[in-house]
Amino acid sequence: MASPVSPAAIRLDNVTKRFETFEAVRGLDLAIESGELLVLLGSSGCGKTTTLNMLAGLEQPTSGTITFGERVVNRVPPEERDIAMVFQSIALYPHLDVRDNIGFALKTRKVQRAVIDQRTQEVAGILGIEQLLDRRIHQLSGGQRQRVAIAKALVRRPQLFLLDEPFSSLDAALRRQMRAELVRIHREVETTMVFVTHDQEEAMAIADRIAVMSEGRIVQLGHPLDLYEAPVNLWVAKFIGAHPINVVEARAAAGGATLLADGSWSAPVPAPIAARLGERADGAWVGIRPEHVEVLPPGDGPGLLRAEVYTRQILGTEVLYELAAGGERLRAVTPTSHLFRIGDPVAARFDWGNAFVFDRATEACVHQPGRRAGA
């Protein structure tokens, strides 16, 4: 994975972590490039936090090796690794004020007072918290606390910066703002960062690369748009994307395909998709994102599906419909130019240029839309 220009700063080779009978991480291979912001993304129990804890030294791998640069660090305790970490539960010391919290790690490492003061001032500037330095932790708001926690981590100038769901206890607006700021800070300090989250939107928003994890393994590693446009399998396709992807059964048929479980809809499909379906006697899954489903006034025509509006949510610039058709529900996100009401008969059309095909047995992606240039 490591490109020749940015050598891997940190490598995990075949790392496994077992707790009693439970295998949290299974044979993980990962090369983290110097200066990148890598997101470990997955639902709870996927092993992302265990991986982070092993990078921190808070857990030791059961087998495999973790290397920082040239040095194997499997058994190096956290205080001897050159790392900083920001926690979900904002681990600031309540008995110290903001300034002493930020300087605590440097003081522990016996850095000179003057150096601590100068660096504290510097990171406080970066995070815009100069005026808070003499406050107590309990006097701060949630967002301010998280800023202090980041400052506390930054002041160390660590080799590796770990963030464990740092924004998940903040409200939605603040969370968005902190994400944007984190990206800006990352550009400024160019430290290698590993960020753990279960929120795909957050991962997409900040990552240089995302490692999607499931059951202790990395399912896919790549640029955020890669995951969105070229998921390796159905699971990743379902996991990534603001609105859950539509998945319908499909079979090859004369002039295209029959779709839906009851085969009640037939539509002409592009040749590559027809070919993938044709190779599979019992059909395949077609995946299409709600953004790529059109909702039209009722009518008949090639590729049009008769449906009825089941639910409707106005999101602002867009409308999210749930359509009932052939005993199934399809989601569609459309512009607000034409509003349908619940119960209205409509026609739906897939934008086949953006459809995926997944094998039924392996759930692997066997067809994906042509890549956009410059992705």
Question: By the criterion CB under 8 A, which residues form the site for other proteins?
Answer: 35, 53, 56-58, 68, 71, 73, 76-85, 87-89, 91, 93-95, 104-106, 108-109, 111, 115, 154, 156-159, 188-191
CA distance 161 to 150: 10
CA 108 to the chain's CA centroid: 35
Q: In whole angstroms, how close is the CB of 72 to other proteins at the nearest point?
A: 12
The closest alpha carbon to 52, from 145, 154, 160, belongs to 160
By CB neighbour count within 10 A (0-12 exposed, 13-18 middle, 19+ buried), where does 293 fall?
buried
- Give the span between the Cα atoms of 190 and 106, in whole angstroms: 20
Least CB distance to other proteins at residue 189 (A): 4
Q: Which residues on adjacent β-strands are paired with residue 86?
A: 163
Q: Say which residues have a Cβ less than 8 Å from residue 292's Cβ, sequence separation at least 6.
A: 350, 351, 354, 355
Q: Which one, 179 or 186, has the nearer CB to other proteins? A: 186
Between 121 and 159, whose beta carbon lies closer to other proteins? 159
Q: Copy the structure tokens of residue 176.
A: 């968005």
Minimum CB distance to other proteins, residue 66 (Å): 13
Q: Which of 85/182 has CB closer to other proteins?
A: 85
Residue with tokens 């299974």: 26
> Which residue blocks in 7-97 are alpha helix, DSSP H?
48-56
Q: How far apart are CA 268 and CA 276, in angstroms?
A: 14
Question: Of how many residues is the chain composed?
Answer: 375
The residue (of 37 and 305) whose beta carbon lies closer to other proteins is 37
> Which lies closer to other proteins via its Cβ, residue 64 or residue 158?
158
Instruction: Tell me if residue 372 falls in helix, strand or coil.
Output: coil
Nearer to other proteins, 82 or 130 (CB): 82
User: Residue 43 CB, nearest distance to other proteins (Å)?
Assistant: 20
- Min dist CB 31 to other proteins, Å, is 19
- Least Cβ distance, residue 158 to other proteins (angstroms): 6
Type of residue numbered 341: R
In this complex, which beta carbon is closest to other proteins, that of residue 82 or of residue 171? 82
- Provide the minimum distance between the beta carbon of 187 and other proteins in the complex, in angstroms, as a whole number: 11
Percentages of the chain per state (helix, strand, coil), in multiples of 5: 30, 35, 35
By C-beta, is 77 or 299 nearer to other proteins?
77
Work out the number of other CB atoms within 10 angstroms of the CB of residue 257.
26
How many helices (H) and strands (E) the chain has is answered by 9, 21
Nearer to other proteins among residue 115 and residue 315 (C-beta):
115
Would you say 48 and 41 are in contact if contact means Cβ atoms under 8 Å apart? yes
* Shortest spacing between CB 46 and other proteins, in angstroms: 19
**Residues facing 72 on adjacent strands:** 67
CB of 57 to other proteins, least distance (A): 7
